[in-house]
Structure 1
Amino acid sequence: MTSVKTLLEIPELRMRLRTGSALLGREISRIYVTELPDPSRYVSTGELVLSGLLWWREPGDAEDWVSSLARAGVAALAASGADTDGIPDDVVRACAQHRIPLLEVPADLSFAVITERVVLALAADRGREPSGARKRLLSTADAPLPVLLRQGAEELRAACWVLSGTGRVVGGTTPEAPPVEWFMPDRERTIRDEYTLLPVGGRFAIPWILAVRTPETDDLADELAGLVSLARARAEQVRQMADRAAAPLFAALAGGGGDLAAALASSGRTDPVRVVVARTQDGELAPELLAELLAETSASFGAVGEDAYGIVEVDEHWPAHWASIARERLSTVERFVDLSGVSVGLSGPVMVDGLRGAAQEALYAVEVAARRGERSAVVAGEDVAVHRLLIAGAPDELRRSMRERVLGGLLAYDAAQGTDLVRTVRVFLECSSSPTAAAKALHVHVNTLRYRITRASELLGLDLNDFATQVDVYLALRS
């Protein structure tokens, strides 16, 4: 049985017990690495949780984090110091209070080494002496995904791929990957034609699938899937660290306050960029979803409130039809995830000094997407009329004031007389000020149309045949 005590007895791990000496008999069933600020959705009973404490920022942060581990029933926490002083005192106190054995990991010890040793120990518990192939595969546990897949393909003697639930090919040893649609979500593995597809474990809403070009099942494929899961967790930690560094920029960008100039200067960006905003019903899925949609770009991410923001460089690799690609991927991933109420907005390209305006454009595109009433929708700012974007950027109070100042007399007349001159004016302007076209659209005689426009002009105190006046009135109508 692999227990917490077992880990302390492995000389090469050099881990030191900080608290929980009476709990060393706890059995370890699995291992999970996390730096999430709220791991409650992802940890489970019997797990050894590894953490570099990147979520810890100040005293007091540990209570909620450690209590979530206790509620999940984890076996122990193995952590490396959050700073040069080692594990913070409040982490030690919280683990003692919530009865979580706390093991301190030496700063120079890779989590991959711990993972390899725990996996080997668990395999021995199951009565399976690790084969040479498994040992060689486990030796790449700390390697990047492409290296891991190459080693897996060599040991399995078959081509391997990792597919995202969005249909994206995350990585592979040959270009021709099977479609993710072949995978059946309600099965542990799917065998179709000459391929085996099995889920990559992990606590992500959007799944990854390991595909192997063999119709035969093999325990080594399951081992590879587990190592891919750890590789994904490591990549997520790297992304979250980058997100934390970019947090001031997104806070200033989304809030309209803060020192945006300083945040822009620290971003180091000099090329044109676009802003992408994703919004979901519960807000929790948005960051992961946006990261998947922008996975093949050079992007920075940040979450502000319930929205996830992305700033992506526009270079020769940026696809001009990105919005269509995003729609297709959202449609594909709906087999695995409920995307009800997902809205994505994309701004046009700007230089970094135009980021705030681009963020407002992307936010308005999100609003347009949400109003479409579809399960998920993607809208690009270029597809929205300029006057709508200009109006959307104005505060609600200003829009109401503008509407009342320009249209107040006409609105009051319609309300008092039961007429609909406001609609007549709107149709007239939308028909390029053509009395004939407007009369046809309203199913009235052209002379009746001219009379109504003359009466509306009198009530407004404006000349509706003047172009500048027409612009003002139309913007007021659309506000």
Structure 2
Amino acid sequence: MTGASRIRVADLLADPLLHGAVTLAGHGGLERPVTDVSRHTADTPAAAADGTGDGIAGHLLVCDDSQITPPHRLDALVRRARTAHAAGLLIAAGGGRPLLSAVRLADRLELPVLWLENAEPATLLCELGIRVRAHELTRARTVLALVRQLGAKTSGHDILASARRTLAAPLSLVTSDGTPLLGDPVPLPAGLRLDLPVPQQTEHLLVHPVQPLHEGDSPRAAAWLAVPLERADPDRAETLAVSLAVVEPFVRSWLTGRRAGADRDAVFRAGLLTEITAARDTVSRDTVENALSLGWRLQDWHTGIHLTTDDPRTREDLDSLLAPLRSELARHRVHIVRPVDSGDGWAAWISSPAEPRPEEARRLLRALRITLAALPHTHGPALDIAGIGRPRRGPAGLADTLAEARDAASLARSHAFRPAVEHADELGVARLLATLQRSEVTRAFAETALAPLRDPEHTHLLDTLRAFLESGGSAVAAAQTLGVHRNTIGARIRQIRERLGIDLDDPSRRLALQMACRALDPHT
């Protein structure tokens, strides 16, 4: 029996099992918790060797007539039980009553003495023991059922579904920001310390960490098992906490297997891309077949994308952002292949049977800027640098466009703003712009044109203008870059128009202001 029992002597006294019992003494101790029920004998250990009384501490001792006869023996029994920190005495006796001295002693020591006539001690011991241990029996049955159910499950969905049925609780597997991996979304209260991989409980939620998958991994949990605690009593919460600890190794085993498969797949895709870029138009038939198995259409037109970052996080952490990146790009009708780890970043591309139209490049550039700004930055910067290559055809074209995308990403990395996305078509233009923005003429124009925004009171407007122009005139992307609502960007743009007296819808004026902002930025 654990010390977590919440059944008191008073609870047992009100139970039908003790109907007719009276409290002879020790009314002041009726709130004591009962951790077990045991039969008092001459061999019952009174106390542990260190004097703490752990031998029968918290027990309700069941006695019969033989142990209180003659009546003065009850005095010694009361003293012995109190020294051992017993919860109380239950005397199953005949018609006699104890001496007044024993009653007064029990009252003074606040040791409950319950008197139940014509009761069978063995029956009381068995039935009261079941009553006290009920939540432990429930917990043991739950754990046994979980182990039996989960032993044959191999997929995360099956593991979680079985656990949910057994626990009759809406169990979910979530990331550290609450994103569901399996099950329903779970709002995570602000009080949780998800940087500490230990079980935690709030008033309405219980979470258990799924430990790092490999030795040497980040100490943060790989994921969290979470279950709501709406109207859950303490015993139910304790049963759920133990159950999550039982479920966790099964989930970790599944995640480890998935990760091993993903690692093998990542190595295969990286090796295949290396073969393609090396062989160019002389790729072997096996390489073509392997590419087709991944959905790579080598003879199509390809537009390369190179993703990278200055983020110090591990590549495993950043890999988790690739799926939401693809999903978000798909919302903009941009469908890229699954990114391939290229050592200095991730290579991806778009394939199409026909040559992309020029406006497709502008749409891709805008979609990628908006998407990178929208990615979660839970622990700091994330994937925030990208380069885009020109459309090229065939296996050699794929190699060329990916090389151009890598060069464009290098240019993007030199910018002070984030996210930074550049297109290969802009590389020559970028050099020209860099020369222009360092000229004295551009500097003088910048100081004059942007003077209304350079005083300390309006620096937020200058930052907004810079973000707005670098985002291609997108209020949404500028809002995500600055971490404000897009309505705030709209209000600030109106103020900028009024203060500068310039039409921001005019492409030429927008370009001039963008050059002016870069000329005043010491990082460009």
User: Same-fold call, TM > 0.5?
Assistant: no
TM-score tier (shorter): 0.3 to 0.5
TM-score (norm 1): 0.44
TM-score (norm 2): 0.40
